[in-house]
Amino acid sequence: MNNFYGTIPPEIGNLTNLICLDLPANQISGTIPSQIASLVKLQILHIFDNHLNGPIPEEIGYLRSLTKVSLGENFLNGSIPTSLGNLYNLSFLYLYLNQLSGLIPSELGNLKNLNYLELSNNHLTGPIPSELRNLTNLSDLGLSNNQLSGPIPSSIGNLRNLYTLFLDDNNLIEHNNLSSTLPTTFSIGSALRSFKLYGNKLEGKIPRSLENCQLLEVLDLGNNLLNDTFPMWLGTLPELRVLSLRSNKLQGPIRTSGSVYMFLELQILDLSCNEFSKNLPMSLFQHLKAMRTIDKKTNASR
């Protein structure tokens, strides 16, 4: 870590043989100069954790050699340039924690080599573009803490290399029954390990296709409008460690299975603030050797 400050001079465009520009965790301010368009050999652009402001220049789309772009943790504003869709070699795009607004450009679906897409903690609006289904090499998708709305594209569940999917704290909503609109959202062989949808407006049932995510470790569906019974079938997920269903409209008695092979790795279970009836069956916990915490407060008892 250095302590560079000041602005990026436009003369940086004269460094036409530059391959890597790596200036993270400094106090660099001002805008990204449009002259970076001249850095046609640039492969790595890391200026995260600084004080940059203004828009990301549309000219960034000329840098066809780029493989990694990290501009997160700044004060960048304006929209995400559609020209980013021209960076066909890009594997890593990190724009986390800025003040970016507007739509997620559908052109990002052109980035078929992309492994990591992190757009969380911005002011992005509108739907999740269905074109993201083309990102078949994607392992991490972060869209949390924006103002996204509309349905979750069912095709996202077919991204078999997806490892983490964070969509929490948006305004995403399914207007129909969740299980009937997403029956094949998560395909067999899914690599998904962490799935967070906390704090949206999702309605209906928990999609049974989550059974296909046999590597899933964290499932957070809390603070939605889900209307279902307790999904005992989630107990068949052999790696599940964290299950949060708090603050929904889940109801009815919790019916347990006679199998001793349910929720074997579960450590945290949060069912609080629902509408479950009757007592919590102790048989649910008889074989949960990994259990650490249970939160069952604020449920109905009838």
- Least confident span in 30-34, 123-127, 177-181: 177-181
Confidence (pLDDT) at 174: 52
The amino acid at 40: V
Q: For residue 215, is pLDDT > 50? A: yes
- Least confident span in 60-74, 169-183, 233-247, 278-292: 169-183
Tell me which residue of 172, 157, 117 sits closest to 141, measured CA to CA: 117
> Can you read off the two tokens belonging to residue 120?
């969380």
Confidence (pLDDT) at 252: 93
Mean pLDDT within 247-256: 91
Close Cβ partners of 258 (under 8 Å, ≥ 6 residues apart): none
Q: What is the mean pLDDT of the chain?
A: 89
Hey, what's the torsion of the CAs at 168, 172, 175, 177, to 10 degrees?
-20
Q: pLDDT of 54-79, one tens digit each? A: 999 999 999 999 999 999 999 999 99
DSSP line for the chain: ----EEE--GGGGG-TT--EEE--SSEEEEPPPGGGGG-TT--EEE--SSEEEEPPPGGGGG-TT--EEE--SSEEEEPPPGGGGG-TT--EEE--SSEEEEPPPGGGGG-TT--EEE--SSEEEEPPPGGGGG-TT--EEE--SSEEEEPPPGGGGG-TT--EEE--SSEE--SS-HHHH-TTSS-TT----EEE--SS--EEPPPGGGGG-TT--EEE--SSEE-----GGGGG-TT--EEE--SS--EE--PPPS-S-SSTT--EEE--SSEE-SPPPGGGGTT-TT--EEE--S----
Strands of 5-7's sheet, edge to edge? 5-7, 27-30, 51-54, 75-78, 99-102, 123-126, 147-150, 171-172
Determine what percent of the chain is predicted with pLDDT higher than 70.
90
Q: pLDDT of 155-184, one tens digit each? A: 888 899 999 999 998 887 754 333 333 434
Highest mean pLDDT among 50-54, 193-197, 227-231: 50-54
Q: For residue 295, is pLDDT > 70? A: no
d(CA 249, CA 123): 28
Number of Cβ within a 10 Å radius of residue 169? 20
Q: For residue 300, is pLDDT > 60? A: no
Cα–Cα distances in Å, from 61 out to 38, 45, 252?
11, 13, 54
Strands of 164-166's sheet, edge to edge? 20-22, 44-46, 68-70, 92-94, 116-118, 140-142, 164-166, 194-196, 218-220, 242-244, 268-270, 293-295
Residue scoring higher pLDDT (49 or 184): 49
Whether the predicted model's global pTM rises above the 0.75 cut: yes
Residue ranges and CATH numbers for the domains of the chain are 1-126 (3.80.10.10), 151-302 (3.80.10.10)
d(CA 102, CA 39): 27
